Chains A and B, each alone.
Chain A
Amino acid sequence: MAFPDRIERTLELAHPPERVWAALTTAEGLGTWFGNRAEVDLRVGGQATLAWDSGDTATLTIERLEPPHVFGYTWPVYGLPDSDPRRTYVEFTLEPSGTGTTLTMVESGFAQLPDAEHKAAFSGNTGGWTNELGELVAYLDGQA
């Protein structure tokens, strides 16, 4: 079983990098081809929110911004609970190619190792209900 850590796609686009850059980084662009609506705070550390008509949303945190060459962001891992701290990193690279652009998209981090800290938090959650309920019982017993 291949455990994919990264997804990679390359597109040849018949448009200059500046146009592709706008499509990737503006609310107008992202809200058209990616989501159904978008809000973008375009700066490193800024967030972009994508919303779909299905009700799904995704919040991107911008990590790299080198117009019109590199746009990188992290976002949640699809299918994991909202509380899960792991995120994948998406990087778009734009290279001029004749009058067009070679666009490369790499999303990586699907096979992130659960780090020790995460493991601790996780075990905490697992035992959480039992402990909380135990504390409640102890509290109520003390009141009796």
Chain B
Amino acid sequence: MDKPDLEAVAQEVFAALADPSRRGILAALAAGGPATATDLAARLPITRQAIAKHLALLAEAGLVVAEPGERRRIRYRLDSAPMKVAQQFLAALARDWDGPLAALREHLT
């Protein structure tokens, strides 16, 4: 996997997480384990049709995986691998060197 692929993965994760309904779906799968679109519609204030659309987008981003099964009984489970790639991008932004290095300069004075 080349770097541009990592960027593409992170890009899709951030786009997927930008929507509160999709965050709700991911949170429900994280908390309750694999579920069908019907299960999720019962638990979340989102229509089954909208959930199906969101699940398709989440699957495209690699954040959920459809388990094999008969059509309306397909269960989706979380795959956090793309999330880890996005986390690495955030880790670089969160690593603060300017503060400590300014403190080092101060310490030496």
Residues of A within 8 A of B91 (CB): 77-80, 88, 110
- Check if B95 sits within 8 Å of A34, measured CB to CB: no
How far is the CB of B54 from the nearest CB of chain A, in Å? 20
How far is the CB of B6 from the nearest CB of chain A, in Å? 6
Q: Is the interface of B mostly helix, strand, loop or mixed?
A: helix
- Check if A34 sits within 8 Å of B3, measured CB to CB: no
Q: What 0/1 readout, one digit per residue, does chain A (87-115) give for beta carbons within 8 Å of chain B?
A: 01000000000000001010100111110
- Check if A105 sits within 8 Å of B108, measured CB to CB: no
Q: What 0/1 readout, one digit per residue, does chain B (1-37) give for beta carbons within 8 Å of chain A?
A: 1010011001100000000000000000000011000
Q: What 0/1 readout, one digit per residue, does chain B (73-87) give for beta carbons within 8 Å of chain A?
A: 000011111001101
Q: Provided the pairs A23-B108, A34-B104, A107-B97 are in contact, do residues A77 and B88 lie with their beta carbons within 8 angstroms? A: yes
Complex-state Cα separation, A36 to B69, whole angstroms: 55
Complex-state Cα separation, A80 to B89, whole angstroms: 11
- Check if A23 sits within 8 Å of B81, measured CB to CB: no
Instruction: Indicate which residue in A5, A14, A19, A33 contacts B3 across the interface (CB closer than 8 Å).
Output: A5
Residues of B within 8 A of A113 (CB): 1, 6
Complex-state Cα separation, A33 to B91, whole angstroms: 21
- Check if A114 sits within 8 Å of B90, measured CB to CB: no
Stretch at the interface among A37-45, A64-72, A122-130, A135-143: A122-130
How far is the CB of B27 from the nearest CB of chain A, in Å? 16
Residues of A within 8 A of B93 (CB): 4
- Check if A1 sits within 8 Å of B104, measured CB to CB: no
Instruction: Indicate which residue in A13, A33, A78, A110 contacts B103 across the interface (CB closer than 8 Å).
Output: A33
Residues of A within 8 A of B11 (CB): 1
- Check if A7 sits within 8 Å of B92, measured CB to CB: yes
How far is the CB of A93 from the nearest CB of chain B, in Å? 14
How far is the CB of B108 from the nearest CB of chain A, in Å? 5
- Check if B10 sits within 8 Å of A3, measured CB to CB: yes
Residues of A within 8 A of B97 (CB): 7, 9, 105, 107
A144 within 8 A of B: no
Instruction: Please list the residues of chain B having a beta carbon within 8 angstroms of any beta carbon in chain A.
Output: 1, 3, 6-7, 10-11, 33-34, 77-81, 84-85, 87-95, 97-98, 100-101, 103-108
